[in-house]
Amino acid sequence: MRTLNLVLAVLLLLTGCAISGVSAQTSSDAAAQVTVTGVTLDPGVFIEEDVGTITVEITNNGAESVPIRRVTMYDADISILSSSYDTSMYLGAGNTMTFVFTVQAGVPQGIYYPTFSVDFRNAGYLRYPVELRVENDPLKISVLSKPDTFAAGKKDTVVIAVGNPRSDMVNGVVVDPSGNGLDITPSSYFVGNLGSDESVQVPLTITPSDNSVLTILVNYKNGVNNHQSSLQVPIRLGASKLQANPILSNIQVVYENGKYSVTGDVTNAGLQVANSVVVTSGDGATPVAPYQQYVVGSLQPDDFSSFEVTFTAPDNTSTIPLAVQFKDADGNQFEQTTMVEIPPASTGGGEAPGFPLPVIVLLVVLAVVIAGVVWYSWRKSHEPSP
Amino acid sequence: MEVLIRPDAFFSRIFAGEVSLKVPGLIAIVGAIVTAISAYVISGPTVKLISGAAGSSASGAMGLIGAFGAIGGFFAFLIGYWIIIAGIFHVISVIFKGKGSFHRTLTAGGYGLIPIIIGGIISALLALYYIPLVKVPVISSFSDPTAVTRAIAQLYADPAMREFTQISGIISIIFLIWSANIWIFGIKHARELSIRNAVITVGIPVVLLIVYIVVTTVFGVGIPGAA
């Protein structure tokens, strides 16, 4: 009987061990059916010091639920800001679970592999290295076109391009131009998303009042992280190579009837149209009727028109300025001044001098001789013919 | 020479016999040639003004303009100063019951052109002195009519041009009076008029012509065919 009991006890022990071994084998098989089915990084590519999230999705492809003790992520370089999932849970057959970890890439540019780890209860671990790229390339700003020189008060266009050399898109891109003494339109330009290796052109209309620096700030987001790129463009005032250039020529000055009359041609020697061209006398002269001002109108490049202005000037004035006012296509007013010599008022410039003495003598002699001939012919007409 | 200083006796002798237009015609042609030369010289500044706008490529055409001026002057003198004036004399003399053919009037008119030709030669010589002194305005294009008009006005307002125009006008009037004196005696004999009627016949168109010369000289406009 005692022998029988012993045999039974051994059999029970062996049976228990067998059952226990079968149970452990079953848990491992079930855990092996759990796989990582998705990894999402936000942002897709980090910039140094960026904070973002890594979202890992696992799926139980088996027919049994799998008990999970702990889910965590760890890495020697990448900081994991969020806590591990320490709560025991079951991942049911055919179910999917998502785990999100907040990380900070306080590391230099490079590729890193923080490890996603799932601790199965009595069935080991699932470890999955997640690729995390860190690139420090900022958005690039370039000037596509701008005038060689700017003119004070004249509107000109600067076209910039914002390009994304990064491996992933950035979002919330906003161009903010600024500068002292600069009237800029638009004051801000919203671009939005800018994909990898894409660029966008932004035309800026600049009206400077003085020499200045145009600062172009491009604010953008990489995930939840704000970043900024900038470019400075010097704005130098000077004579534009293209702008209209009215030149006065063929100037004739005549003093008559108590006033000066200046006539001449005004030619547009520039490459742009001069609108609303007006010629008038400048400081030192007092415009008088009938031509206080002479409205020429519009002058195309290389076109010309005549003008006439009348004015009075104080005695002993030898030069007076002639002002040519014109506008560009945007209505900006310009003025060019040309100094013109004027003859003394007392000499009556333009009047023909008297006849030279030899000519007067010639005319008198001719008149006398012919008068004599006529008188002689009449005297002889009363005499009978020989 | 007799026609210049004793026209009465000259025409009395000429019209006593058969008249010929050969000599009067030759005189008119000489006068036309002198006028053509003068016109060519005087048109120099105008040609220069136009060529400034037309460019150097048009220099051949500019030479043609001078030639046209000369030809115009030639025919203006031949027709205007000889045939038309003789015709006016002939028509006016009809009022005074003038006799004699137009052939005779043309003869008298032709001989009377000699003083005008002398005056034309003197004016041409003066033109050779004055015209080079004229400052020709510069115009770069004909696209602006106002500029062209003003340039031409400036040309005629040039002191040298004005002085020449005035002297030329005075000389024209002086020698026209001399020619009128010859025409009076010529018409008297050609149309068998009294001296009073001959003076009226010649005086009316000559006075009008002198008025025209004075007016155009004051305003600086050239007289076609005038010396």
Chain B nearest-CA residue for A382: B8
How high does pLDDT run on average in chain A? Answer: 85
Q: Which residues of A touch B182 (CB under 8 A)?
A: 377
Instruction: Please tell me the predicted confidence (pLDDT) of residue B159.
Output: 76
Q: Which residues of A touch B163 (CB under 8 A)?
A: 352-353, 355
Q: Which of the four pLDDT bands, split at 50, 70 and 90, describes residue B143?
A: low
Per-residue pLDDT of A249-269, as tens digits, reads 888 888 777 788 888 888 998
- Of residues A24 and A173, the one with the higher pLDDT is A173
Q: Which residues of A touch B162 (CB under 8 A)?
A: 352
Smallest Cα distance from A139 to chain B, Å: 55
Smallest Cα distance from A290 to chain B, Å: 17
Would an 8 Å CB–CB cutoff place A48 in contact with chain B? no
pLDDT at A194 over 60: yes
Q: What interhelical angle do B159-190 and B7-14 show, nearest 10?
A: 50
Cα–Cα nearest to B171, from B114, B116, B111: B116
Q: Name which of A370, A375, A382 to mutate to probe chain B: the one with the most chain B Cβ atoms within 10 A of its Cβ.
A: A370
Would an 8 Å CB–CB cutoff place A298 in contact with chain B? no
| Contact call for B167 and A355, based on CB within 8 A | yes
| Contact call for B13 and A385, based on CB within 8 A | yes
Q: What's the mean pLDDT in A6-28?
A: 49
pTM of the model: 0.48
Per-residue pLDDT of A152-165, as tens digits, reads 888 889 999 999 99
- Of residues B30 and A330, the one with the higher pLDDT is B30
Distance in angstroms (rounded) separating the CA atoms of residues A59 and A37: 6
Dihedral through CA A211, CA A217, CA A218, CA A222, nearest 10?
A: 160
Distance in angstroms (rounded) separating the CA atoms of residues A368 and A62: 143
- Work out how many CB contacts closer than 8 A connect A with B: 86
| Contact call for A381 and B195, based on CB within 8 A | yes
Q: How far is CA A191 from the centre of its chain?
A: 13
The C-alpha angle with vertex B28 and arms to B26 and B33, in degrees rounded to 5, equals: 95
Smallest Cα distance from A299 to chain B, Å: 12
Chain B nearest-CA residue for A266: B147
Would an 8 Å CB–CB cutoff place A109 in contact with chain B? no
Helix (H) or strand (E) holding A375: helix A357-381
Q: Which of the four pLDDT bands, split at 50, 70 and 90, describes residue B141?
A: low
Distance in angstroms (rounded) separating the CA atoms of residues B168 and A205: 66
Q: How many Cα atoms sit within 13 Å of A284 on the Cβ side? A: 15
Q: What's the mean pLDDT in B143-161?
A: 71
| Contact call for A370 and B5, based on CB within 8 A | no
Per-residue pLDDT of B66-119, as tens digits, reads 788 889 889 999 898 899 999 999 999 999 888 888 989 999 999 999 999 999
| Contact call for A252 and B171, based on CB within 8 A | no
Instruction: Please tell me the predicted confidence (pLDDT) of residue A1.
Output: 47
CB B93 within 8 A of CB B11: no
Q: How many residues does chain A have?
A: 386
Q: Which residues of B touch A367 (CB under 8 A)?
A: 174
Cα–Cα nearest to B41, from B110, B112, B143, B132: B132
Backbone angles phi, psi at B17, to 5 degrees: -110, -160
| Contact call for B159 and A377, based on CB within 8 A | no
Q: Which of the four pLDDT bands, split at 50, 70 and 90, describes residue A353?
A: low
Per-residue pLDDT of A89-142, as tens digits, reads 899 999 999 999 999 999 999 999 999 999 998 888 999 999 999 999 999 999
- Of residues B188 and B159, the one with the higher pLDDT is B188
Residue with tokens 């004699």, as numbered in its chain? B100
- Of residues A317 and B58, the one with the higher pLDDT is A317
Chain A nearest-CA residue for B173: A367
Q: Which residues of B touch A370 (CB under 8 A)?
A: 115, 174-175, 177-178
Would an 8 Å CB–CB cutoff place A15 in contact with chain B? no
Instruction: Please tell me the predicted confidence (pLDDT) of residue A20.
Output: 44
Distance in angstroms (rounded) separating the CA atoms of residues A233 and A129: 45
Would an 8 Å CB–CB cutoff place A263 in contact with chain B? yes
| Contact call for B174 and A350, based on CB within 8 A | no
Instruction: Please tell me the predicted confidence (pLDDT) of residue A174.
Output: 97
pLDDT at A285 over 80: yes
A381, two tokens: 């007409």
> Which of B159, B170, B181 lies closest to A377 in CB terms?
B181
Q: Which residues of B touch A374 (CB under 8 A)?
A: 177-178, 181
pLDDT at A16 over 50: no
Instruction: Please tell me the predicted confidence (pLDDT) of residue A351.
Output: 47
Among the listed ranges A264-273, A321-330, B134-143, which one has the minimum average pLDDT value? Answer: B134-143
Instruction: Please tell me the predicted confidence (pLDDT) of residue A334.
Output: 84
| Contact call for A355 and B157, based on CB within 8 A | no
Q: Which of the four pLDDT bands, split at 50, 70 and 90, describes residue A22?
A: very low
Smallest Cα distance from A264 to chain B, Å: 8
Q: What percent of chain B stands above pLDDT 90?
A: 37
Among the listed ranges A182-191, B24-33, B38-47, B100-109, which one has the minimum average pLDDT value? Answer: B38-47
Chain A nearest-CA residue for B136: A250
Per-residue pLDDT of B46-74, as tens digits, reads 777 776 666 555 556 667 777 888 898 89
> Which of A250, A306, A351 lies closest to B138 in CB terms?
A250
CB A90 within 8 A of CB A68: yes
Q: How many Cα atoms sit within 13 Å of B72 on the Cβ side? A: 14
| Contact call for A373 and B7, based on CB within 8 A | no
Q: Which of the four pLDDT bands, split at 50, 70 and 90, describes residue B226?
A: very low
Q: Which of the four pLDDT bands, split at 50, 70 and 90, describes residue A308?
A: confident
Q: Looking at chain A from residue 222 to 261, which residues have their Cβ under 8 Å from any Cβ of chain B?
A: 249-250, 252
Would an 8 Å CB–CB cutoff place A83 in contact with chain B? no
Instruction: Please tell me the predicted confidence (pLDDT) of residue A21.
Output: 44
Q: What's the mean pLDDT in B178-188?
A: 93
| Contact call for A377 and B185, based on CB within 8 A | yes
Smallest Cα distance from B47 to chain A, Å: 18
Q: What percent of chain A stands above pLDDT 90?
A: 48
